[in-house]
Amino acid sequence: MNTRVLGELEQQVMNIVWKLNGCSIKKVVIEIKRKKKIAYTTVATILQRLFYKELVNRKVTKQGYWYFPRISRESYIKNLATSFLRKMTYTFGDIAITSFAESLESLPKKKKRFLLELLRK
Protein backbone atom coordinates (compact mmCIF):
# COMPACT_ATOMS: atom_id res chain seq x y z
CA MET A 1 0.00 0.00 0.00
CA ASN A 2 1.33 3.39 -1.01
CA THR A 3 0.38 5.65 1.89
CA ARG A 4 -0.26 9.21 0.77
CA VAL A 5 -1.29 12.33 2.59
CA LEU A 6 -5.04 12.76 2.35
CA GLY A 7 -6.79 15.97 1.44
CA GLU A 8 -8.72 17.77 4.17
CA LEU A 9 -12.11 16.32 3.19
CA GLU A 10 -10.66 12.85 2.57
CA GLN A 11 -9.14 12.93 6.05
CA GLN A 12 -12.41 14.07 7.59
CA VAL A 13 -14.31 11.23 5.88
CA MET A 14 -11.65 8.68 6.84
CA ASN A 15 -11.81 9.81 10.47
CA ILE A 16 -15.56 9.17 10.44
CA VAL A 17 -15.11 5.70 8.92
CA TRP A 18 -12.53 4.87 11.62
CA LYS A 19 -14.76 6.26 14.36
CA LEU A 20 -17.83 4.30 13.23
CA ASN A 21 -15.79 1.26 12.16
CA GLY A 22 -17.99 0.97 9.11
CA CYS A 23 -20.79 3.08 7.69
CA SER A 24 -22.94 4.05 4.74
CA ILE A 25 -22.47 7.18 2.66
CA LYS A 26 -25.54 8.59 4.37
CA LYS A 27 -23.98 8.17 7.84
CA VAL A 28 -20.89 10.09 6.74
CA VAL A 29 -23.05 12.87 5.28
CA ILE A 30 -24.97 13.13 8.58
CA GLU A 31 -21.72 13.37 10.57
CA ILE A 32 -20.22 16.05 8.32
CA LYS A 33 -23.46 18.06 8.16
CA ARG A 34 -23.18 18.65 11.91
CA LYS A 35 -20.45 21.16 11.07
CA LYS A 36 -20.93 22.16 7.44
CA LYS A 37 -23.08 21.65 4.38
CA ILE A 38 -22.03 18.86 2.02
CA ALA A 39 -23.61 17.00 -0.89
CA TYR A 40 -24.26 13.27 -0.81
CA THR A 41 -22.49 12.89 -4.16
CA THR A 42 -19.38 14.61 -2.81
CA VAL A 43 -19.13 12.10 0.04
CA ALA A 44 -19.78 9.23 -2.38
CA THR A 45 -16.90 10.44 -4.56
CA ILE A 46 -14.56 10.78 -1.56
CA LEU A 47 -15.39 7.26 -0.35
CA GLN A 48 -14.79 5.91 -3.85
CA ARG A 49 -11.36 7.60 -3.88
CA LEU A 50 -10.55 6.12 -0.47
CA PHE A 51 -11.58 2.72 -1.84
CA TYR A 52 -9.22 3.07 -4.82
CA LYS A 53 -6.45 4.23 -2.48
CA GLU A 54 -7.05 0.96 -0.56
CA LEU A 55 -7.88 2.70 2.72
CA VAL A 56 -11.45 1.39 2.87
CA ASN A 57 -13.22 -1.73 1.70
CA ARG A 58 -16.85 -1.85 0.71
CA LYS A 59 -19.60 -4.37 0.42
CA VAL A 60 -22.95 -4.13 -1.28
CA THR A 61 -26.03 -4.15 0.95
CA LYS A 62 -29.72 -3.63 0.19
CA GLN A 63 -29.29 0.06 1.05
CA GLY A 64 -26.12 0.55 -1.02
CA TYR A 65 -22.43 0.36 -0.24
CA TRP A 66 -21.19 -0.21 3.30
CA TYR A 67 -17.67 1.17 3.81
CA PHE A 68 -15.28 -0.02 6.49
CA PRO A 69 -11.60 0.60 7.26
CA ARG A 70 -9.08 -1.54 5.44
CA ILE A 71 -6.28 -0.23 7.62
CA SER A 72 -6.34 0.96 11.21
CA ARG A 73 -5.80 4.62 12.00
CA GLU A 74 -2.61 3.72 13.86
CA SER A 75 -1.22 1.72 10.92
CA TYR A 76 -2.04 4.54 8.52
CA ILE A 77 -0.25 7.09 10.69
CA LYS A 78 2.80 4.83 11.10
CA ASN A 79 2.97 4.19 7.35
CA LEU A 80 2.58 7.88 6.60
CA ALA A 81 5.28 8.90 9.08
CA THR A 82 7.68 6.22 7.82
CA SER A 83 7.09 7.24 4.21
CA PHE A 84 7.61 10.91 5.07
CA LEU A 85 10.86 10.27 6.95
CA ARG A 86 12.24 8.09 4.15
CA LYS A 87 11.48 10.73 1.53
CA MET A 88 12.96 13.50 3.65
CA THR A 89 16.19 11.64 4.42
CA TYR A 90 16.52 10.44 0.82
CA THR A 91 16.00 13.94 -0.56
CA PHE A 92 17.85 16.01 2.06
CA GLY A 93 20.10 13.51 3.84
CA ASP A 94 21.79 14.60 7.05
CA ILE A 95 20.15 18.04 6.94
CA ALA A 96 16.74 16.40 7.42
CA ILE A 97 18.00 14.31 10.33
CA THR A 98 19.64 17.32 11.97
CA SER A 99 16.50 19.42 11.54
CA PHE A 100 14.39 16.64 13.04
CA ALA A 101 16.71 16.32 16.02
CA GLU A 102 16.71 20.08 16.60
CA SER A 103 12.90 20.19 16.47
CA LEU A 104 12.74 17.79 19.44
CA GLU A 105 13.60 20.72 21.69
CA SER A 106 10.27 22.37 20.93
CA LEU A 107 8.22 19.35 22.03
CA PRO A 108 6.59 19.16 25.46
CA LYS A 109 8.85 17.25 27.88
CA LYS A 110 6.60 14.19 28.11
CA LYS A 111 6.38 13.79 24.32
CA LYS A 112 10.09 14.41 23.95
CA ARG A 113 10.91 11.64 26.48
CA PHE A 114 8.50 9.27 24.74
CA LEU A 115 10.05 9.92 21.32
CA LEU A 116 13.61 9.60 22.62
CA GLU A 117 12.69 6.27 24.23
CA LEU A 118 11.30 5.04 20.91
CA LEU A 119 14.49 6.08 19.16
CA ARG A 120 16.62 4.21 21.72
CA LYS A 121 14.71 1.00 21.02
Q: Which range (7-11, 29-33, 63-67, 79-83) has the least confidence?
A: 79-83
CB-count burial class (<10 Å; 0-12, 13-18, 19+) for 25 = buried
Q: Is the pLDDT of residue 2 over 70?
A: no
Q: What angle do CA 5, 14, 88 make, to 5 degrees?
A: 15
Count other Cβ atoms within 10 Å, centred on residue 46.
22
Q: Which range (48-52, 59-63, 106-110) has the least confidence?
A: 106-110
Q: What angle do CA 60, 52, 22 make, to 5 degrees?
A: 45
Q: What is the mean pLDDT of residues 6-26?
A: 96
Q: Is the pLDDT of residue 77 over 60?
A: yes
Mean pLDDT, rounded, of the chain: 90
pLDDT at 1: 56
Q: What is the mean pLDDT of residues 57-80?
A: 93
Whether the pTM exceeds 0.85: the reply is no
Strand stretches in the chain, DSSP E? 23-24, 56-61, 64-69
Strand 56-61, strand 23-24: pairing: unpaired
Q: In percent, how much of the chain has pLDDT > 90?
A: 57
